[in-house]
Structure 1
């Protein structure tokens, strides 16, 4: 089987994955590409760079139709950019779900993306800065359920709700108001949909409980758990399984 490497930046440096066909052999991390490859110590016939090339514009297939690059995703209206790693995670989440239709909500760094998926395509997205704002305002989880409900029903009062929570030192309410306002903005993406949450361990707990309170079917997965299946799907898409 073809030996190949997938590598790209992960926020703290560069991560590289050694692959043999659809099978993940090992991974390594370094401050830059040279460092990651040195730690990986893997001879490969091909290296694919995550985020390489011009982004693909939504709607488009989850994985690229070209077998030479793994670019990010972009959307014109509303303007948005989704990191290329998200494509691998989504592919992993859908590995055993043929023709799945629903919404995948992905937390990547300090951005959360709501992505409508249908017939193997990412159709559209709505993104928010809720994780960044929660950190900046010192919100904590679990979120206050009453705060979620208040801002979900009256998102126009978000700024006033946040000020009241800040003055009283109610950190769970800060998180709750931000999540409530996000759910109000993203309502077309989750109302009546199946939702898969992809986020680092623990980071999705607040929004998962808020969605469950609205009667939304929710599954939660950590990106690293989806990675092996996503890489296997990428190998198949790029004809690297033989």
Structure 2
């Protein structure tokens, strides 16, 4: 059994985990690596999330034996998924081996739709919807009529957003943005099983909108998937008991 540590940035802060084999013994966070690792003591190996050149899709979610868990990249359409999101996907795949379907991961600034099959990431499509919603002052919950309008007529998104801005309806802003995203992501959810991964409360708009389209949907909190992800890393790196 080897003592080791994992560190990465989750989009808000640096997070570090001390492990004994596949088990987390201590975790911490901080504004930088030094703060996150303070109090850990010496470790035989520090494994970094987001380290290395991104792997090109399609590819296995499990990494090789490099210095860290790299992100994912795709040529057409051009896209990049960071190492922390890959870690979350790895945790989902570890909990649901050989799952075939689509995972939608919601982050503070991006949403990622990823097709998984046989524990591989096959393709992806990411959206700036959360960033745009924040910039425009959109609020939750999204207006259901606005979702429907932009889902059926996404080419009118800019006009819909202006109308919502003029009328002072921030719920319509979020609804139109979400409806346009669902229209563009239709190949990822139509006829698919979808897993929605988002912090508690953050998935309400997406979950309700997908359910309204009759999409089979399972919801997961990313924090609940981290132990599975770290245990999977321990196994592939030879740190399991």
| TM-score (norm. length: structure 2) | 0.96
What is the distance in 2 between the residues matched to 1:68 and 1:130? 32
The answer to which of 160-169 and 65-74 deviates more is: 65-74
Mapped contact 1:162–1:174 kept (Cα < 8 A): yes
Deviation at 1:68, TM superposition (A): 3.3
2:136 maps to 1:165: no
Maintained 8 Å contact 1:88/1:234: no
Residues 67-124 of structure 1 show CA distances to partners (whole Å, capped at 9, x for unaligned) of 5321111111111110101122112222232211000111223011100000110000
- How far off its partner does 1:165 sit? 0.8
Query: Counterpart in 2 of 1:136?
Result: 135
State the match for 1:97 in structure 2: 96
Q: Separation in 2 of the partners of 1:141 and 1:12?
A: 21
TM-score normalised to structure 1 length: 0.95
The residue that corresponds to 2:238 in the other structure is 239
Instruction: Report how many residues are paired.
Output: 241
**Residue of structure 1 in register with 2:16 after alignment:** 16
1:189 aligns with 2:188: yes
Which residue is 1:174 aligned to?
173
C-alpha deviation, 1:35, in angstroms: 2.1
Q: Secondary structure at the match of 1:11?
A: coil
Q: Equivalents in 1 of 2:211, 2:41: separation in Å?
A: 44
Contact 1:116 1:125 in 2 (8 A): yes
- Cα distance between partner residues in 2 of 1:11 and 1:86: 9
The residue aligned with 1:75 is 74
- Give CA deviations for 1:112-141 in whole Å, capped at 9, x if unaligned: 110000011000000100001111111111
**Structure 2 residue 234 is the aligned partner of structure 1 residue 219:** no
Q: What is residue 60 of structure 2 aligned with on the other side?
A: 61
Shift of 1:196: 0.8
Alpha-carbon distance in structure 2 between the residues aligned to 1:152 and 1:103: 19
Any conservation in 2 of the 1:19–1:25 contact (CA below 8 Å)?
yes
What is the aligned-residue RMSD (CA, Å)?
1.3
Which secondary structure does the structure 2 equivalent of 1:54 belong to? coil
Greater Cα shift, 107-116 or 123-132 = 107-116
Structure 2 residues without counterparts, runs of 5 or longer: none
